[in-house]
Amino acid sequence: MEEVYNGYSAEKVLDILGEYAIYLRKSRADMEAEAKGEGETLARHEHILLDLASRKGLKIGKIYREIVSGETIEARPEIQKLLSDVKAEKWKGVLVVEVERLARGETMDQGIISKAFKISNTKIITPIKIYDPNDEFDEEYFEFGLFMSRREYKVINRRLQRGRILSVNEGKYVGSIAPFGYDRVKIKGDKGYTLRKNFEASIVKIMFDLYAYNDLSLNEVTKKLNQMGLKPRKNNEWSVASVKDILANPVYIGKIKWNARKEVKVYKKEKLVKTRPRNNDYILVEGLHEAIISDKTWKIVSAKRSLNLAPVVHNKVMQNSLCGLVICAKCGKKMKRRSYSKFGKEPTLYCSNTKCDNVSSKFHYVEEKVLEGLKKWLEQYRFDYQGQLEKINHNRLKSIQETIDSLEAEAKKENDKLLSIFNFLEDGTYTKEMFKERSKAVSQNVNRINNSIEEYKIKLEQEKNVDKERDVIVPKIKNFLDIYDLLQTPEEKNSLLKTILSQVTYLKMEKSIRKDSDPTNFIINLYPKINKAG
């Protein structure tokens, strides 16, 4: 029997091999359609494009099949190979079912693709139209297609994000992989998923009980689990990091947490990478699933974790409750605690830089001043916030949001203008010259407005984070002041101080050597952990 290749005989396929390439990629909509049983997308598109090549007499030399749905060029290996071959002028043209398959993500990626096809003079062939990148009209049309694709992509992405947040607020589980101790199961009679306990749940309970009700560190709990032969889902042994993550996950008390590690794009060594930093502005709601541990156990574990005791180095006990916090205001070095073997002489806080003339002080005076400064800061902050700050912050956020809304309305008008310009070109109202002139001006305006919108959105998020930090830091400082003197070790005090202070600066100009001199004649500045908006 003759071998058949997507409806074509092997002989027919060899017949058309040659100077053109095919690029295939699934969209998110394709994946949703496949889930509903509408058939495999790449095979269907391959058949369409092979048929197009046959009708136009184009010889196909290679088919690039993108099996991942990445947003950027970096996330799509096949588009990288295609672009490399296009730049090397390997193909006369590339066949795609629509131009949007080439780039739908970042504007920068669209520019890279457009430039590669233009410089190499490689045509883009779709069932509807052939694009010549060196024809000004085709170039405008191609770039407009990518622009509209990007706009549609953003709309779809926003809709998906809203859908996820709605599901989270309903207590549904929207992650793709269930946490250890649970299985991800479809909700009967409703859309979405929830969690169901499995045999691993008993290991989770043992883990929490070991840490909560025994005098064990995280490292000791990890060793104990491994000695008991209790294994994690994938590896043979538990690590401290994985145990720590489970003990910090509120899913085990029946909660759903979302956006705690929001994806953020940053440049590292001139390369754009995705990171997931810790985010305080997350969603935490009651889930539909059953809890594995009790609220009492969770509170005990959380309280123990919040101390986050600093490791003791070389079996020495930490004596400095201000360790790593106090900075010399003159040279920027970290201040150190000096103890004396001579009986009766109190420890001092000094700058370790031998060339610095910042004067040392008795340690307990500095510690007392730090606590006194926190009390004053808290009183002043409460007065300011309850008086004017809250109103000012609300008005500031409202003003930024109103600016964003106004810019988005302006952007919509400009996009509608751009669409009208293309309609006028197609019905003959505009000549090519009129089209180029008017579309260029409107496109530039759209880009300017979109850039402004992005800047204001970043500013809004920064301002919201500041308010979030303010709401968290005040009760944290109050609790700290209530329990500080009850803590038994400098380690515990130091760990707690680091949860509310980023640093303290210290400056002392004169020695306190006379009997009537003030031993507290130094200046300290406190820096509570509240992010500043840019």
The dotted CATH code for 182-304 is: 3.90.1750.20
Cβ within 8 Å of residue 392, ≥6 positions away: none
Q: φ, ψ for residue 179 (rounded to 5)?
A: -65, 155
Q: Encoding tokens for residue 18?
A: 């040659």
Report whether 83 contacts 113 (CB < 8 A).
Answer: yes
Nearest to 477 by CA among 356, 407, 345, 377: 377
DSSP 335-352: EEEE--SSTTPPPEEEE-
CA–CA dist 385, 218 (Å, integer): 39
Please list, residue by residue across 490-505, b when 16 or more beta carbons sit within 10 angstroms of its beta carbon and e when fewer do.
Answer: bbbbbbbbbebbeebb
Tell me what pLDDT residue 150 has: 64
Report whether 495 contacts 521 (CB < 8 A).
Answer: no
CA dihedral sign of residues 255, 305, 262, 73: negative
Tell me what pLDDT residue 275 has: 66
Cα Rg of the chain, angstroms: 32
CA–CA dist 112, 101 (Å, integer): 14
Tell me what pLDDT residue 533 has: 39
Q: Counting Cβ atoms within 10 Å, is residue 485 exposed (0-12), middle (13-18) or buried (19+)?
A: exposed
* pTM attached to this predicted model: 0.41
CA–CA dist 172, 190 (Å, integer): 10
CA–CA dist 57, 62 (Å, integer): 15
CA–CA dist 466, 385 (Å, integer): 13
DSSP letter assigned to residue 334: B
DSSP letter assigned to residue 484: G
Q: How far is CA 96 from CA 100, 133, 143, 150, 260, in A?
A: 9, 15, 15, 17, 39
CA–CA dist 19, 95 (Å, integer): 11
Tell me what pLDDT residue 212 has: 84
Report whether 408 contacts 454 (CB < 8 A).
Answer: no
Q: How many Cα atoms are found within 13 Å in the side-chain-facing hemisphere of 325?
A: 26
Report whether 427 contacts 434 (CB < 8 A).
Answer: no
CA–CA dist 471, 493 (Å, integer): 23
Report whether 279 contacts 261 (CB < 8 A).
Answer: yes
CA–CA dist 372, 378 (Å, integer): 10
Return the ∠ at Cα 209 (arms to 208 and 210), rounded to 5°.
95
> What is the topology classification, in CATH, of domain 4-159?
Rossmann fold (3.40.50)
Q: Count of CB atoms within 10 A of residue 104's CB? A: 23
Nearest to 414 by CA among 462, 436, 447: 447
Could you list the pLDDT tens digit for every one of the 534 residues in the chain? Answer: 344 444 444 444 444 456 899 999 876 555 554 554 444 778 889 999 999 999 998 999 999 988 776 667 777 889 899 999 999 999 999 999 887 778 765 667 777 888 888 899 899 999 988 888 787 777 777 766 666 666 666 666 677 777 778 888 888 998 888 999 999 999 988 888 999 999 999 999 999 998 888 877 788 889 889 988 888 988 888 988 899 899 989 999 999 888 766 666 655 655 656 666 666 667 888 999 999 999 888 888 887 776 544 444 444 567 888 888 899 988 888 888 888 765 567 889 998 787 888 999 999 899 999 888 888 877 776 655 554 555 556 677 778 888 888 888 888 888 888 778 877 777 778 787 787 788 788 888 888 888 888 777 777 776 666 555 555 556 666 666 777 777 778 887 887 788 778 889 999 988 877 777 788 889 999 887 764 433
Q: φ, ψ for residue 76 (rounded to 5)?
A: -125, 100
Q: How many Cα atoms are found within 13 Å in the side-chain-facing hemisphere of 503?
A: 11
What is the separation of C-alpha 287 from the centre of its chain, rounded to a whole number of angstroms? Answer: 23
Tell me what pLDDT residue 532 has: 42
* Dihedral, CA of residue 383, residue 386, residue 388 and residue 392, to nearest 10: 130
Residue-range domain boundaries for the chain: 4-159, 182-304, 362-528
CA–CA dist 132, 92 (Å, integer): 11
Tell me what pLDDT residue 312 has: 41
